[in-house]
Structure 1
């Protein structure tokens, strides 16, 4: 399991890893010209109303956990795009192995079928691990003909 960046780990400690990744994945992205990358930000209100965005995304209980821990703060969680991309690609491979076509998978993930085929052609990270194979020793006996 990939480690979360510290900014996202703080959220995960409050609402759990999967919920934190879901939340970060739903936040709008903006481009930071001074940092040269895409960033997210999230304002956690000091008090919560039932129609608030966090309640709609996470439900009342998890939203309240965030409010009680981060209420009144602006959070800048990492986008976790690498983690999300790996999870997405893993699911694309699984759905393909289960018989879904590239077109169906593309519709499901909101991408082109060409991109799905490119992902399916890639070697999965877990298969890229280098495995050492020890050579076998061949014993020869002197004088054997």
Structure 2
């Protein structure tokens, strides 16, 4: 699964873990796309963020200011938290397999996934124009 651009853009500014934490804290709405419904988050980023603003409470003032610097005045529709968590999880699985040489059974136990799911994740690599 390619990283949704909205998640990648936010993660580039505040980091992946913080982007996941932010998206998890956002309210969601249901959006219809053809015959399917999907759950989306909606985020307006003001140009200046006060210490009592909900973004400052979620991220801390320093990261909230970075977010305002990068996206101030914009309305963002980031990927939902489930997708964001899966992206980060898959990246971690690949890193452990490549760097640490973790075996498929070990990864399966560590991430509570089947060995087949781990193999599928390891098979999917960077898609042209998208980062995992």
- Cα distance, 1:83 vs structure 2: 4.7
After the TM superposition, which parts of structure 1 deviate over 3 Å for at least 4 consecutive aligned residues?
none
Contact 2:7–2:84 (CA<8 Å) still a contact in 1? no
Work out whether 1:7 is the aligned partner of 2:6: yes
Q: TM-score under structure 2 normalisation?
A: 0.62
- Cα distance, 1:4 vs structure 2: 2.9
Work out whether 1:25 is the aligned partner of 2:20: no
1:99 equivalent in structure 2: none
RMSD: 2.5
Q: Which blocks of at least 5 consecutive residues in structure 2 are unaligned?
A: 90-108, 121-132
- Please identify which structure carries the higher helix content: 2
Provide the secondary structure at the position in 2 that maps to 1:37: strand
2:53 equivalent in structure 1: 52
1:124 counterpart (92, 113, 117): 113
2:98 equivalent in structure 1: none
Q: Deviations over 1:87-110 (max 9, x none)?
A: 5xxxxxxxxxxxxxxxxxxxxxxx
Q: Which blocks of at least 5 consecutive residues in structure 1 are unaligned?
A: 88-119, 131-145
- Cα distance, 1:30 vs structure 2: 0.8
Query: What is the alpha-carbon distance in structure 1 between the residues aligned to residue 30 and residue 45 of structure 2?
Result: 21
- Please identify which structure carries the higher strand content: 2
User: Which has the larger Rg?
Assistant: 1
